[in-house]
Amino acid sequence: LSDRDVFDYITIHKQFCAASAHGAALMEIDERRAIKMLIEHHDEASPLEVIHSICRLDQGVVRDEAQEEGFGPLLSRRIKQLSDTWAKRLYKYLECLHRRDPSITDFDTILVEMCASYEPDNMMNLLQSSNSFSLDEALHACVKNNLVKEQVFVLGRMGSNIDALHLIVENIGDV
């Protein structure tokens, strides 16, 4: 897996399922092309497997004995331990996946957390486009990254209108 021709091989032989297990290695060859291919064929190239491959490659795990079936606490913890380079690649992948197919909601909470860090200008759009993320985690990400308008939006969704109004008066000054 070190030649750009691998993308043609995968496409010609329709090996998208197998490609998901090597998503991170493909990103090392050509990040843009890998993400595009994995997103276009996300029905065959399991997003969960792509995420696992990124965690394994970044953290030097050859065989993942503890791989979870779904998106659970172990994988969430491993994502938070990613190097900045791989976290940004994962964010790009998840953001493109969300744009391509908003019905895939398994990763929305981690996407919201990563968006707050890597693309805060897009945070409000993401918050408005999905209902399937943890409101508590979204609020925490907004507070951590000092995204006041987004905090107000999340507090409103939580039904904490008094807290939202207090935040407006205190930080924005625009009632």
Question: Would you say the C-alpha torsion 141, 31, 14, 20 has a positive or negative sign?
Answer: negative
**96 with 35: CB under 8 angstroms?**
yes
Q: What is the pLDDT along the chain (175 residues), one digit of tens a residue?
A: 568 799 999 999 999 999 999 999 999 999 999 999 999 999 999 999 999 999 988 877 655 555 555 666 778 888 889 999 999 999 999 999 999 999 999 999 999 999 999 999 999 999 999 889 999 999 999 999 999 999 999 999 999 999 999 999 988 665 4
Short-list 112, 107, 102, 117, CA closest to 139:
112
d(CA 29, CA 144): 33
Residue 76 tokens, joined: 């969430």
165 vs 155: CA distance, rounded Å: 9
CA angle 169–170–174, rounded 5-degree value: 35
CB atoms within 10 A of CB 17: 14
- Please tell me the pTM assigned to this model: 0.87
